Amino acid sequence: MKENNRKIRIAVFVSGGGTNLGALIKAQQEGLLCDGEIVLVISSKADAYALTRSKDAGIESAVVEKKVLGSQERFESEIIRLLEEKQIDLIVLAGFMSILSENFTSRYPERIINVHPSLIPSFCGKGYYGLRVHEAALEYGVKVTGATVHFVNEIPDGGRIIMQKAVYIQDGDTPEVLQRRVMEEAEWIILPQAVQQVCSQLASDTIKK
């Protein structure tokens, strides 16, 4: 960052409905997210409802589709171009369903945050996303699940944990019911809190420099 008095500039990556993006926008509007500002939303799908959320909030958005660009390298190069153009300080993955390579993640050490719908290290890593996470939790018979916000590195769900919140499994839960409750009781709460925490630390580090 070139200035000490500006907010941390955030890009949110999305692929679907954007409920976690909605939680971040709400936190920003209510002043919970006060050391950062969402200035860009990047979607890997042109029909993602998250783009409507972004538009309604007056946040600039862009669509970057791997199938259109034809390769992982061109996909990531276009994302990097957008990030540099907007002077992004922090990336938040909020339901982003595209894999990012080690070449990409290594460019932004501890500058990429992800929210995962389980208590890492349970039900995480390759293949664990969406409903599959909640199906696995119910199949295993655990009594407590939850959500984790962590930094992203080259290992799927392997970066340093920032924040976790537990959610109790109830009798009769289906994967869909559990998914919704984990979002409402954990993801939508700790993701904005964690983003604010990281933004506050980044802002503090910048001032010290």
The pair of three-digit structure tokens given for residue 39, joined into one six-digit string: 């200035």
Name the 3-class secondary structure at 90: strand
Where are any strands of DSSP class E within the chain?
8-14, 36-43, 61-63, 90-93, 112-116, 144-151, 161-168
Instruction: Report whether pLDDT(44) > 50.
Output: yes
Residue 168 pairs in a beta bridge with 144
3-state percent helix, strand, coil for the chain, nearest multiple of 5: 40, 20, 40
Rounded distance between C-alpha atoms, residue 173 and residue 179, angstroms: 9
pLDDT band at 75 (very low <50, low <70, confident <90, very high): very high
φ, ψ dihedrals at 47, nearest 5°: -100, 15
Class of residue 172 by CB neighbours under 10 A (exposed 0-12, middle 13-18, buried 19+): exposed
111, pLDDT greater than 70: yes
- Residue 4, pLDDT > 60, answer no
Nearest in space to 45 (alpha carbons), one of 113, 98, 102: 98
Residue 157's nearest CA partner among 124, 127, 111, 190 is: 124
* Local structure of 131: helix, strand or coil: helix
What is residue 209's predicted lDDT score, i.e. its pLDDT?
56
Give me the pLDDT at residue 99, please. 86
Percent of the chain at pLDDT above 70?
A: 96
Contact 38, 22 (CB under 8 A): no
Which tops the pLDDT comparison, 91 or 2?
91
pLDDT of res. 5: 64
Per-residue pLDDT band for 135 (boundaries 50, 70, 90) equals very high
**What is the model's pTM?**
0.93
152-204 per-position pLDDT tens digit:
998 989 999 999 999 999 999 999 999 999 999 999 999 999 999 999 999 98
Average pLDDT of the residues of the chain: 94
Look at the domain 8-208 and name its fold.
Answer: Rossmann fold (3.40.50)
Strand partners, 146: 166
Active site residue 150: no
Mean pLDDT of 48-75: 96
What's the one-letter identity of residue 192? Answer: P
Spatial contact of 146 and 190, defined as CB atoms under 8 Å apart: no
pLDDT category at 1 given cuts 50, 70, 90 is: very low
| pLDDT band of 6, cuts 50, 70, 90 | confident
Q: Do 43 and 62 touch, CB atoms closer than 8 A?
A: yes
Query: Which residue of the set 7, 45, 53, 116 is catalytic?
Result: 116
Give the residue carrying structure tokens 């941390």.
8
Segments making up each domain of the chain, as ranges: 8-208
